[in-house]
Structures are given as structure tokens and as C-alpha cells.
Amino acid sequence: MRGCLAPALAVTLLASAGCKRDENADREAARSGQPQSGEDQLDLAKRESEQAYDRAKEAQQTAQDKTKEAIETREDVTEKREELTKAQQEMELRQQEAQAAQQKAQQEAQSAQQQGQSAQQRAQQAQQQQDQQAQRDMDSQTTGTTGTTGTTGTTGTTGTTGTTGTTTDTTTTDSTAMVATTATGTVETASRDEVVIRRDAGTTLRLDVDPQSTTVLKDGQPATLTDLTQGAKVKVSYRTERGQSVATRIEVGKRADEG
């Protein structure tokens, strides 16, 4: 009987010792953080997978955010480039407009200068024509004067017309290059040595006066320089010699108005 119980007791003791070892191993595994069973390992693997998925999702979101920022940055760069191109085109357009305006201003200035020169030439021609007409008028009047002795150049030749005894007063150019001219206008100033006439054309004529050779007539009668009052209507004959204009005859009054 004892012989039969001994093996059974030994088996029981061994089983009990094995269980205790398993319990101790489980406690050690729990203390060391290792799963105690396959189910625990499955849960741990599931948690790790979920954590990995969360990290991947977070990384993907970060990548999307960075991609969005890159796209926005590229759009900003493109917009800035377009603005720069537009600004450059506008600047070139303004430069072209400025150049065109400058060229137009230069052309207008040249045209104005040419017009001014042309107007000045026309005024000079008109003045010359007026002086020539006044000379012809004076010659026509002096031709009909009876008993007047005229000189031709420096020869002093007296010419008669027909049988009426009319003497022609002719003014010519002698060897000293004297040019006789007539003009009409009003007296601005008169002195013993000089007379200033405002011509009908608006220009000023300054004449030297020689009391010995300058003839002054008022209403056809001999007069003096004191009879030349400011604003009086006059007709003058003068010669130009070596750049100087010298009055030879000054008529004031009715005869000047008729001229």
C-alpha cells in the first residue's frame, strides 16, 4: 500500500512544483512587462500597429501641409513674376511715350523757329516794298513840282520836262554808295541831331539830322525841327551812307497826310 502511494505522491508534488514554477514565471513576466499569453501579445501587436498607423497618418498630414505651402509659395512667386513683367512693360510704354513727346516737342520747336524766320523775312520784304512804294510816290509828287531844281548824283544836272518848265527832282546813287529811301510814319522824338520815326508798319526808324542839308517843310512851307512835335504825321526822305541813315527831307502836315 505504501509502495503504491509513494509514486502518486511524487507525481502530485511534482505537478504542484510545476504549477508554482509557472506562477512564478508569470509573475516575473508581469514584472518585466512581457505578455503573459498569446492574447496579450496580440493586443500589444494591435496597439503597436495602431500607433504606427497614427504616426503614418500624422506624417501624411504633415506632408500634405508642406505640399500645400509649397503650392502657395509657387503661386506667390508666379504672381510676383507676373506683376514684375507687367511693371516692366508699363515702364517701357512710359519710356516710349516720353521719347515720342520729346520728339514732338523738338519738331514743334523747329517748326516754330522756321515760322518765325519766315515771318521775319516776310516783314522785311513788306517793309522794303513799302519803302519802295513811298519812294515812287515821292518821285511822282516831286515830278509835278514847278520850278524845283533837282540834282542827279554829284553832277548837279538840271532836267526839264516838256514846255511847262517843270524840273524833275531825281535822287540816285553816287560813287560813295549813297542809297536814297523814303518812309512815312509819326514822330516819336526830335532833336537838333536826330529824329526818331515810328513807321506805319510798326518799326522804328532813327535818322541823323544835318541842319545844313536837311530840308524841313510844314504844310509845304519851310519849317524847322522844332515844328516836329511828337505824334505828328511825317514823310521823310533819307539816304544811307556807310551804314548811317541821314534825313534829307522831312515833310509834316497836309503833304505828309497825302503821302
> Per-domain residue ranges for the chain?
178-258
CATH class of 178-258: mainly beta
The rounded radius of gyration (Å) of the Cα atoms in the chain is 64
Tell which wins on pLDDT, 141 or 110. Answer: 110
pLDDT for res 77: 92
Indicate whether 149 pLDDT > 50: no
pLDDT for 9-29, tens place per residue? Answer: 444 544 455 545 555 555 565
**Choice among 125-139, 152-166, 203-217 with the minimum mean pLDDT:** 152-166
Sorted by sequence, the CB contacts under 8 Å of residue 255 that are 6+ apart come out as 141, 217, 219, 220, 235
From residue 208, how far is each of 52, 76, 166, 171, 191 by CA, in Å?
Answer: 122, 87, 31, 18, 10
pLDDT for 211-247, tens place per residue? Answer: 888 999 998 899 988 888 999 999 999 998 888 899 9
Tell which wins on pLDDT, 189 or 254. Answer: 189
pLDDT for res 250: 94
The mean pLDDT value of the chain amounts to 75
pLDDT for res 75: 92
Percent of the chain topping pLDDT 90: 37
Indicate whether 189 pLDDT > 90: yes
Tell which wins on pLDDT, 148 or 7. Answer: 7
pLDDT for res 22: 52
pLDDT for 240-258, tens place per residue? Answer: 888 889 999 999 976 566 5
pTM > 0.75: yes or no = no
Q: What is the mean pLDDT of residues 200-209?
A: 90
pLDDT for res 125: 76
pLDDT for res 30: 53
CB atoms near residue 149 (< 10 Å): 11
Backbone torsions φ then ψ of 205, nearest 5 degrees: -120, 120
Confidence at 187, pLDDT banded by 50, 70, 90? very high
Cell 503504491, located at residue: 4
Longest dimension (CA), the chain: 212
Indicate whether 193 pLDDT > 60: yes
Grid cell for residue 161: 520836262
pLDDT for res 83: 93
Q: What is the mean pLDDT of residues 127-135?
A: 74
